């Protein structure tokens, strides 16, 4: 995907993903404008110090909230590519504050869709999560709702060229709310807490997540949910990699937490194409002929009925040594 000369906007742009996205895009491209849209003026100030105006004159900062449709319309004016990363993401926080989660993750997503259509944005990608597949917590439910909305948005774009797709991936190493910073803090106490020793998770680095979004921009047609093929980790292996000398205490699964995560459910299998590096979930109303045409074009195949892509049955696992290398040098 060539982003030179394009106007790009990322909602929630001061978060972990946004920081890495801006870093990689500025290393490789010279956009016309690169707009960071977020609520936190302090984080924007800190980000502007990292990316000074003298060196990055095309970067702009918009204070705003996705709950504010008029502000989104103002910010999206002239935008070519939009990455929607803004969300309330902490499972515990969303469980305790359900109305706020809905206002941001569902209503805010509806506002992003409406503003993108109103302003003629060409490409829109919504960042999703493995917790949106067969959700059991409110965060996952709001993200599934948002996924459905972004896929359906292609049906009412009318004569506009705006296209919407979704990127769904697993836990991001050392992002805000990740277990890695928690383990690093607990390491100093001599004891790590895990919820269940059988727990597994999908694992992806921030750079890999950004790379996947960029490649998805290059192949999106509208309506796809892109799922990367990424490794799984056992939570006990991660604890061993970070603090092998520490005692492990099992504290039980928290409300809304799964033992294993899923990114392609069995119910979605019939709509899913497997490519070399990803799965592509098509809308449920997509015909078999269209799915086969897509698979042939990109050298893929239709998944069998009953297929499931979960962190438990993955064929790619990170070892303790792999994890040691990934977390080495990380600080709290």
Burial of 57 (0-12, 13-18, 19+ CB in 10 A): exposed
131 labelled catalytic: yes
The token duo for 82 is: 């939009």
- Spatial neighbors of 141 by CB under 8 A, at least 6 apart, are 135
Catalytic residue of the set 6, 20, 89, 131: 131
Q: Which of 97, 174, 91, 201 is nearest to 135 (CA)?
A: 91
Q: Which of 109, 119, 98 is nearest to 149 (CA)?
A: 109
Burial of 274 (0-12, 13-18, 19+ CB in 10 A): buried
Distance separating alpha carbons of residues 118 and 310, to the nearest angstrom: 37
Following DSSP, what letter does each residue of 172-204 receive, concatenated? ETT-TT-HHHHHHHHHTTTEEEES-TT-EEEEE
Distance separating alpha carbons of residues 240 and 250, to the nearest angstrom: 14
Kindly tell me the sign of the dihedral angle through the C-alpha atoms of 17, 175, 146, 132.
positive
- Spatial neighbors of 168 by CB under 8 A, at least 6 apart, are 128, 129, 130, 132, 133, 147, 225, 226, 227, 263
Helix (H) or strand (E) holding 48: helix 41-50
The token duo for 92 is: 């515990």
Q: Which residues pair with 266 in a beta bridge?
A: none
Distance separating alpha carbons of residues 138 and 95, to the nearest angstrom: 6
**What residues are labeled active site?**
131
């Amino acid at each position: 995907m060539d982003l030179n000369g394009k106007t790009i906007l990322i909602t929630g742009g001061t978060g972990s993903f946004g920081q890495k996205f801006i870093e990689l895009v500025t290393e490789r491209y010279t956009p016309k404008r690169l707009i960071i849209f977020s609520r936190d003026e302090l984080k924007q100030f800190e980000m502007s110090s990292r990316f000074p105006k003298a060196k990055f004159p095309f970067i702009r900062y918009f204070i705003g909230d996705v709950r504010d449709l008029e502000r989104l319309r103002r910010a999206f004016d002239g935008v070519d590519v939009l990455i929607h990363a803004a969300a309330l993401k902490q499972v515990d926080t969303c469980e305790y504050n359900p109305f706020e989660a809905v206002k941001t993750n569902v209503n805010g997503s509806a506002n992003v869709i409406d503003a993108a259509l109103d302003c003629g944005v060409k490409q829109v990608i919504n960042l999703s999560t493995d917790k949106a597949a067969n959700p059991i917590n409110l965060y996952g439910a709001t993200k599934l709702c948002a996924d459905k909305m972004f896929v359906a948005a292609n049906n009412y774009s009318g004569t506009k060229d705006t296209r919407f797709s979704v990127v769904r991936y697993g836990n991001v190493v050392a992002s805000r709310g990740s277990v890695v910073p928690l383990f690093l803090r607990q390491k100093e106490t001599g004891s790590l807490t895990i919820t269940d020793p059988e727990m597994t998770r999908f694992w992806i680095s921030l750079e890999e997540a950004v790379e996947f979004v960029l490649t998805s921009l290059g192949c999106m047609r509208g309506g796809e949910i892109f799922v990367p093929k990424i490794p799984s980790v056992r939570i006990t292996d991660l604890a061993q990699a970070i603090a092998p000398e520490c005692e492990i205490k099992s504290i039980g699964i928290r409300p809304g937490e799964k033992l294993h995560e899923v990114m392609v459910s069995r119910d979605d299998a019939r709509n899913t194409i497997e490519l070399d590096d990803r799965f592509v979930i098509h809308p449920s109303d997509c015909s078999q002929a269209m799915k086969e045409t897509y698979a042939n074009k990109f050298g893929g195949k239709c998944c069998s009925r009953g297929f499931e892509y979960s962190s438990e049955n993955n064929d790619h696992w990170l070892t303790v040594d792999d994890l040691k290398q990934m977390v080495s040098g990380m600080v709290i």
